[in-house]
Amino acid sequence: MNSRSVTGESRLLIDGHLVGARSGETYDNIDPATEQSLGTTADASLADVDLAITAARRAFDETDWSTNHAFRRRCLEQLVTATEEAAEEFRRIDTAEAGRPYVRTLGSVNRNIPTLGIWAELAGGYDYEQSLSTFRTPGQGLLRREGYGVIGAIFTWNCGFYLNVMKIGPALAAGNTIVVRPAPETPWQTTRFGRLIAEKTDIPAGVVNIVTSQRPDVAEALTLDPRVDLVTFTGSTTVGKKIMAQAAVTMKKVHLELGGKSAAIMLDDVDLETSVPLVIEPLCFNAGQTCSALTRLLLPRSRYAEGVELARASLSAVHVGDPWDPQCGQGPQISARHRDRVLNYIEMAKRDCRLVLGGGVPKSLMRGYFIEPTVFADVPPDHTIAQEEIFGPVLAVVPYEDEEDAVRIANDSIYGLSGAVHSKSTQRALDVARRIRTGQVAVNGVLSNGPFGGYKQSGIGREVGVWGFEEFLETKSIGLPGNGN
């Protein structure tokens, strides 16, 4: 096998069958590093999504999938085994269709597979019925948790395998059925996952359906169709608002993991030489296309010049280029359109801010959608590049006066997804972290393994562990006379 050869899955998964679009239409899956087609993918229409929703509705209403917890656990354990066996395929697909450096796919694929095992354990071991007395509620009764029904899942393109795990996994574990529309730019991560479900597990027909499409109305159908009970979406805040409005027509629950403009605060006592690279180098791992990326670096004025130089030095050492190269630290943007969007932000910032590094397309990379790691200094806190999510390898370095000013700047955002605080004193950093209005904060480089999600316009709901599992469970209160006998 050629070291760069990648084989994807072009078909949809509808009602247990791997099929082409009813229209026969396909579209090219483009490699963002070469601008060449990797192969084709079925281009579903409204007719296909209707069949998928019909199948999911029947599987939830007419089978015991939602109530047979032990069976769900066994099916998900089968999926864990299947994904472990196919992990190398998923890594190669991630590099080929998303441009993620191959050396980074151990994190994007292999380290996420065990999470499927967590969902499997919860499917069979969660306490779906509890006495209301457990909650010190007057009266007799039961608190029952059960699946919502049909889930519509809409994915963005920056972390396909992770989203398979974090959306499909808990939705199934909780007893739901699902229709997935992956991002048209990165379809194969999900279609290959669908093929494993069809061929390697006992998950019944109709429980999982996957429809790939370039057409916006296919995703819209999942938000509007009354047979869909919950919509889960990961992507931009702009699109999330549209989904929320569309879902409101039929009062669907929405679970939204959206954008971010996260700040990393360096307190004045910190070891900048260690902390600055630790904070900013991950910005390039996925070419800045990560919602939780720390794209604002807040430095005390007393140490500002030192911090700016360390930021420049750190990102100047990142090797941009062929994502299959073992030395690659940053691959391409996902598409020409997105590359141009990022470049527009950079050109705008050049008028008002001090360009320290990068600022364009690498001269040695005329093919592919590449952008240089870019650092701007002297960025006003209210500047566009300090307020809007660029989703590219662009760092805004912002000075602050004191701790109060740093907290104010960090919180001055419509977003509230992530953040970081660094100090020689863990307690001091923790005190600041408690004041940051975001869903997660790393103290001295340590991220928690707790729930992930955002404040403000960064989303609604949480992922990871039991918190993510319970997002897909409805709550029922059952009153009982006497002792319930």
Q: What is the DSSP string of 413-465?
A: SSEES-EEEE-S-HHHHHHHHTTS-SS--EETTBPPSS-B--EETTEES-BSH
Strands 442-443 and 419-422: parallel
Task: Look up 353 and say whether it is catalytic.
Answer: no
Task: Look up 257 and say whether it is catalytic.
Answer: yes
Q: What is the DSSP string of 363-424?
A: TT--SSS----EEEES--TTSHHHHS---SSEEEEEEESSHHHHHHHHH-SSEES-EEEE-S
* Four-residue CA torsion sign, 327, 329, 334, 337: negative
SS3 state at 42 = strand
* Four-residue CA torsion sign, 61, 62, 67, 68: negative
Let me know how many helices (H) and strands (E) the chain has, helices first: 17, 22
SS3 state at 180 = strand
SS3 state at 7 = coil
Cα–Cα distances (Å) from 411 to 190, 214, 414, 470, in that order, read 36, 36, 8, 28
Which of 75, 159, 284, 291 does the annotation list as catalytic?
291
Amino acid letter, 7 = T
In contact, 265 and 420? CB cutoff 8 Å: yes
Distance of CA 33 to the CA centre of its chain: 21
Which of 257, 389, 463, 471 does the annotation list as catalytic?
257
> Among all residues, which ones are annotated catalytic?
257, 291
